[in-house]
Structure 1
Amino acid sequence: MQPPGFSADWYRAVTEFAHSTPSWVHPVAEIGTDAGLLLFAALFVAGWWRARSGQAPAMGLALAAPVAVVAAYLVSEVSKTFIEEERPCRAVAGAMNIAACPAPGDWSFPSNHSTIAAASAAAIVVAWRAMAPLVLPLAALMAFSRVFVGVHYPHDVVAGFLVGVVVAPLVVLLVARLVAPLVGRLREVSFGALLLGVPAAVPGPARRPVHLPPAPGPGPEPGPAPADVTMPDVMGGVHSAPPRR
């Protein structure tokens, strides 16, 4: 596969800029392009630990996140074998790469690093949304670093990023849905509870106290009920009145 001309031009511009930066930036960029993957691995462990006190669906998402990254990586790696794009550090004349150029046969399109970084960020966001402001910029920086050190074209990292953000969330949601019932059953045994934790008790709704009326105490005896007044009584009273003089 031949790279687009504009992507080769952008590659030259970025790598020339990289070489114009201070010398201490070069090893930092070369180490950082791989060290970011270790940070994502640490976040996966933190997400698992956080989910130990959550319900089964939360733990299912935490366990599915690394699986989703592996799935996205496989899609990227298989694509490389069919597309077979040469690395720019060999294909571009006068390439000024900071990192060592990968061996022949290690194809360029799409970027596996970008795929893994984007898939990790997307999977973490699905399972732990509050981490989005951290992981999404980190994934974008890692993708850019692959061009900065000179081992990928810009279109390689864009394609890898898209593979990661599309494949990972779909796999996370699918795997988590399958794993959540198993998490609930494993938590019922000692080893499963040790590995997956026990969810925190969910407090029920507070009940309002019921105030009963006081029991009737001793009181005066009720008197006889007044006799009902009937119409004949009224009429009789009228007739019995003395006549007026």
Structure 2
Amino acid sequence: MDPNTPIDTSGLYRDITGFAQDTPTWLQHLAEVWTEAGLLLFGVLFVAAWWRARRRGSRALAIAVLAPLATAVAYVVSELLKSAVDEERPCRAVAGAAASLVQCPPAGDWSFPSNHSTIAGAAAVALALAWRSLAWLTLPMAVLMAFSRVFVGVHYPHDVAIGLALGAVVAFLAVRGGTRACARIVDSMRSSSTPAVRWFAGPGDRAGQTPHPAEAAAAAHGTAPGAGQGRGRD
């Protein structure tokens, strides 16, 4: 075992990678693809959450916009921790383990924590905050992505477990801490005179929103669409 490894899960690593070698080839290929494709799917869900939130209140859009930003913050925290710990990859450090299904990352590309798992944990929680009904999809996705990193042989189990937890906590705190300030920015964007900015922010929930200044001025002068219509004669 690598002396820099903070927790000894090398035995479990051997068990999982040994099991992986005995699985059908199609399942091995699926795990190899999922370990990267899952990140792309999270990206698609970020866009979907933003698009959905454009027609909702300022707080909803703020959370949707913060979701990918919080995930990026979690990744940076993971990278800083990875550089501080300097844990060797198990595909080089664990004696007697089955060969990894994918090429072992080069020396200096440290193992703890798993960046993929940190990103997955952060994205899963941030998306669940932005779109609650997505939790049933994003949380299992994150767990499967984390497990796939051990399955293909490039991380210890503790790398991915702590990565998931780290990402989830950082994303939760980042979203919760930034929502109020971001919601104020969204309000400003929705009343901006720049069409591209208003398009990005979306129309919002019109029922509970302050109208755009141009619309308010038109209404005040009775020139808004429909103004003065429907009045009976004296």
- Residue 167 of structure 1 deviates from its aligned partner by 0.5
Aligned equivalent of 1:194? 199
The answer to whether 1:182 aligns with 2:185 is yes
Query: Residue type of the partner of 1:137?
Result: P
Aligned equivalent of 1:161? 164
Q: How does 1:82-161 map to 2 (within 5 A)?
A: 82-95=84-97, 96-161=99-164
Asked if 2 retains the 8 angstrom alpha-carbon contact of 1:30 and 1:99, the reply is: yes
The answer to whether 1:9 aligns with 2:11 is yes
1:149–1:25: structure 2 CA closer, same or farther, 3 Å change rule? Answer: same
| Distance in 2 (alpha carbons) for counterparts of 1:50 and 1:149 | 35
- The structure with the largest alpha-carbon Rg is 1
Asked if 2 retains the 8 angstrom alpha-carbon contact of 1:85 and 1:108, the reply is: yes
| Distance in 1 (alpha carbons) for counterparts of 2:135 and 2:199 | 29
Measured on the aligned residues, the alpha-carbon RMSD in Å equals 1.2
Asked if 2 retains the 8 angstrom alpha-carbon contact of 1:69 and 1:120, the reply is: yes
1:71 to 70, 73, 76: 73
Aligned equivalent of 2:39? 37
Q: For structure 1, which runs of at least 5 residues remain unmatched after alignment?
A: 204-245
- Residue 201 of structure 1 deviates from its aligned partner by 2.8
| Distance in 1 (alpha carbons) for counterparts of 2:190 and 2:70 | 23
- Cα distance per residue 1:70-115 (max 9 Å; x no partner): 1111111100111000000000123321011000000001000000
Of 47-56 and 24-33, more deviation after overlay is shown by 24-33
Q: How many residues align?
A: 202
The answer to whether 1:56 aligns with 2:58 is yes
Query: Residue type of the partner of 2:185?
Result: L
TM-score calculated relative to the size of structure 1: 0.80
Aligned equivalent of 1:227? none
Asked if 2 retains the 8 angstrom alpha-carbon contact of 1:63 and 1:176, the reply is: no
| Distance in 2 (alpha carbons) for counterparts of 1:191 and 1:147 | 44
Asked if 2 retains the 8 angstrom alpha-carbon contact of 1:51 and 1:62, the reply is: yes
Aligned equivalent of 2:222? none
- Cα distance per residue 1:128-158 (max 9 Å; x no partner): 1111111001100100000000000001101
